[in-house]
Structures are given as structure tokens and as C-alpha cells.
Structure 1
Amino acid sequence: MSSYDDYSAAAELGQEPGGAPVRVGTVVWGLTVLALAALIIISGLGIVALNGTYVLIGLMIGAGAALIVGGVLSARRRDNNSTSGKS
């Protein structure tokens, strides 16, 4: 399948070509893993002493809040793009 076929298939569906949308969960968990890795490196260098329990609780609260906010924003965007006329 060529890029022209991808473009024409996307045009028939009323979508922009270029791939799938970014998923909120993937971004949030990726940022969570990066933050945890950075905290481990900082703690290993001895710059600051971290309590592992508090770090994990903080990361999980932040990730959970980001997932909820991202899901709500995604749902609102989907509702705005619907063509059914329902509000």
C-alpha cells in the first residue's frame, strides 16, 4: 500500500492522514517512568535523600490525575467532533 492509498483511505473516512492519535495513557506512563528514572539517578548521586514510599505515592497520584484529566479532555474532544447532532 502506497502513501497515496493511505491518503485516499483517510480522506474517505474524513480523517487527516499521518497515523493514529497519541494515547493519553502511553504519554502519562512514559513520563512516569522517566520521572522515576530521574529520581533514582538523583538519589544515586547523593544530591538528595528520597523516601521511596513517598516518591511512589506522589508519582501514582500525579499519574492518576493526569490520566483522569487526559481522559476527560479526550472525551470532550470526541463529543465536539461527533456528527450525530447529540450534545
Structure 2
Amino acid sequence: MNSYDPAANPPETPGSPRARVGTVVWGLIVLALAALTIISRLGIVTLNGTYVLIGLMIGAGAALVIGGLLSARGRDKDTTTGKA
């Protein structure tokens, strides 16, 4: 028989779940591509696909690195035990 011990599996802390950095970055990439496609189709500007791709990859890489560092910093604050 299985017995449930609530002390062994404490419930998660209340609060809203945090969005993952990768999900946010990929969402921003898709939005940027959609906006650039619309702008280029309207004829407002002429875009070079290579430069657009390079810019998106640089921006996405920077966002992932910065987001990962901020996430790790926040995680370090949450898991302190008070020991030196």
C-alpha cells in the first residue's frame, strides 16, 4: 500500500509560475520576424535577409545570456540556507 506523506513532498510555494527565458526569447524572435515581414511587404523599407538574420541571432543570443544570468541570480537568492 502506498501512504502519502505530505512532509516528504511539500507543496510548492504560492505565486505565479515564472516564464522561461527561452520561451520569451523565441516568442520575441517570432514577433520580430512577423513585424519585419509585414514592413517589407508594405514596401516601407527594403530588407537584406542576411543582415536581418544576423541581427536577430545577435539579439536572441544576448537575451538568452542575460536572461539566464538574471534567472540564476534570482535562483541563488531563493535557495540560501543562511550558512556561510
User: Is TM-score (shorter-chain normalized) higher than 0.5?
Assistant: yes
The alignment-based identity, stated in percent, is 69
Residue 22 (str. 1) matches residue 15 (str. 2): no
Q: Give the paired residue count.
A: 75
The runs of at least 4 aligned residues of structure 1 exceeding 6 Å deviation read none
Residue 71 (str. 1) matches residue 71 (str. 2): no
Q: Which amino acid aligns with 2:54?
A: I
Q: Which amino acid aligns with 1:75?
A: A
Structure 2 length as normaliser, TM-score?
0.80
Higher relative contact order (CA closer than 8 Å, sequence separation 6+) = 2
Q: Which amino acid aligns with 1:60?
A: M
Structure 1, unaligned stretches of length 5 or more?
Answer: 1-11
Q: Specify the alignment match of 2:39 in structure 1.
A: 42
Structure 1 length as normaliser, TM-score?
0.77
Measured in 1, the distance between the counterparts of 2:65 and 2:83 equals 23
Aligned-CA RMSD value: 1.7
Offset of 1:66 from its aligned partner? Answer: 0.2
Offset of 1:83 from its aligned partner? Answer: 3.4
Higher Rg of the two aligned structures: 2
Residue 80 (str. 1) matches residue 77 (str. 2): yes
